[in-house]
């Protein structure tokens, strides 16, 4: 298990082509090719925004995100947890003492912020790593956790399959995600607005993330609507 605070040089993710953004599983060769074309903007964007990130989100964080994070952490059991797209470490205050955490992100500047937040002895390491190509053996973790990440991972299904791989059988993946709304009318509006939002923020607002989680091979145990059917808390399990 890695113990360093950061490790640079792993593969990076970027923006998905317009549309539903489901992508599809790709071979490592195909992925490397896509990465060359697409991953740099995403990494650059988050590196650039890192010093401002917590400030930009201060209001929604206080008004709603905190409550959503607390709700998600009811499902945290550990003992060994991988947080993917840990960003500036906004979830760190919510981890109970009994769990041991490894945090990964493609943006080293986001990670630097995370290392500055209170580090309890149960943080094993923060690593620069792409969700689509996790450098951990199969079945390493008891749980994975990610909040507002799979809207920006270039190939979400590839990333979700990686989560599945590094989880132990019956291990749980916990998510907070914003997703494409189900109604036809609102769904179409989200599709129309998506290119604009992607160009400004890099996040896709029209991803069918619950469907993607199932497609990656998980069993979805809970799907809780936190804000209409747009922001969801999802608990998924790796089959035996
Ligand atoms: C919207 S931010 C959310 C950060 C944090 N999880 C939170 O709740 O505040 C998305 C994060 O996902 C990271 N990210 C995007 N694509 C990634 C990938 N392919 N692998 C790992 N991290 C990724 C970004 O660098 C960024 O830190």
Tens of pLDDT, residue by residue over 192-213, are 999 998 888 788 999 999 999 9
Is residue 126 packed enough to be buried (19+ CB in 10 Å), middle (13-18) or exposed (0-12)?
Answer: buried
Question: Cβ distance 203 to 194 under 8 Å?
Answer: no
CA 186 to chain centre: 24
H-assigned helices in the chain: 28-56, 58-60, 66-73, 108-116, 156-166, 184-201, 209-215
Question: Cβ distance 131 to 155 under 8 Å?
Answer: no
Give the number of other CB atoms < 10 A from CB of residue 106. 27
Q: Which atom of ligand 1 is nearest to the CA of 46?
A: 25
| Rounded Cα gap, residues 117 and 112, in angstroms | 9
Q: Which pLDDT score, from 0 to 100, does residue 82 have?
A: 98
Q: Which pLDDT score, from 0 to 100, does residue 176 have?
A: 98
Q: What is the pTM of this model?
A: 0.86
- Whole-Å CA distances, 64 to 105, 226, 227, 231: 23, 10, 9, 11
Tokens of 143: 């749980």
Which residue ranges form the domains of the chain, and what is each CATH number? 28-237 (3.40.50.150)
| Rounded Cα gap, residues 157 and 150, in angstroms | 9
Question: How big, in percent rounded to 5, are the helix, strand and coil portions of the chain?
Answer: 40, 20, 40
Q: Which atom of ligand 1 is nearest to the CA of 203?
A: 1
> Could you tell me the distance, in angstroms and rounded to a whole number, from the CA of residue 71 to the centre of ligand 1?
20
> Could you tell me the distance, in angstroms and rounded to a whole number, from the CA of residue 131 to the centre of ligand 1?
9
What is the signed CA dihedral for 55, 206, 13, 126, rounded to 10 degrees?
50
User: What average pLDDT does the chain have?
Assistant: 85
One digit per residue, the tens of pLDDT, for the chain of length 240 reads 333 433 333 333 333 333 333 333 344 455 454 454 356 778 888 999 999 999 999 999 999 999 999 999 999 998 999 999 999 999 999 999 999 999 999 999 999 999 998 767 699 999 999 999 999 999 999 999 999 999 999 999 999 999 999 999 999 999 999 999 999 999 999 999 999 988 887 889 999 999 999 999 999 999 999 999 999 999 999 999
Q: CB neighbours of 168 closer than 8 A, spacing ≥ 6?
A: 139, 140, 141, 142, 238
Q: 33 in the Ramachandran plot: left (φ > 0), alpha (ψ -120 to 50) or beta?
A: alpha
Eight-class DSSP state of 64: I
Q: CB neighbours of 99 closer than 8 A, spacing ≥ 6?
A: 76, 77, 78, 79, 80, 81, 122
Kindly list the protein residues whose Cβ atom lies closer than 6 A to any atom of ligand 1.
13, 42, 46, 84-87, 90, 104-107, 110, 130-132, 147-149, 152-153, 159
| Rounded Cα gap, residues 182 and 208, in angstroms | 9
| Rounded Cα gap, residues 13 and 94, in angstroms | 27
Q: Which atom of ligand 1 is nearest to the CA of 154?
A: 19
């Amino acid at each position: 298990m890695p113990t360093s605070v950061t490790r640079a040089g792993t593969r990076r993710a970027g923006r998905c082509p317009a549309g539903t953004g489901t992508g599809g599983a790709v071979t490592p060769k195909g992925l490397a090719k896509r990465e060359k074309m697409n991953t740099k903007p995403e990494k650059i964007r988050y590196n650039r925004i890192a010093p401002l990130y917590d400030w930009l989100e201060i209001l929604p964080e206080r008004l709603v995100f905190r409550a959503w994070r607390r709700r998600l952490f009811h499902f945290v059991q550990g003992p060994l947890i991988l947080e993917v797209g840990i960003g500036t470490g906004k979830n760190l205050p919510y981890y109970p003492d009994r769990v041991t955490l490894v945090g990964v992100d493609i943006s080293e500047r986001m990670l630097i912020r995370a290392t500055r937040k209170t580090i309890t002895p149960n943080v094993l390491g923060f690593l620069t790593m792409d969700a689509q190509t996790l450098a951990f053996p199969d079945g390493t973790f008891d749980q994975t956790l990610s909040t507002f990440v799979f809207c920006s991972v270039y190939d979400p299904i590839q990333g979700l399959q990686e989560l599945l791989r590094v989880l132990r059988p019956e291990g749980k993946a916990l998510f907070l995600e914003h997703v494409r709304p189900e109604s036809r009318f609102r769904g179409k509006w989200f599709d129309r607005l998506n290119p604009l939002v992607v160009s400004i923020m890099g996040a896709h607002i029209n991803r069918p993330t619950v469907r993607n989680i199932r497609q990656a091979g998980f069993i979805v145990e809970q799907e809780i609507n936190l804000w209409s059917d747009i922001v969801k808390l999802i608990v998924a399990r790796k089959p035996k």
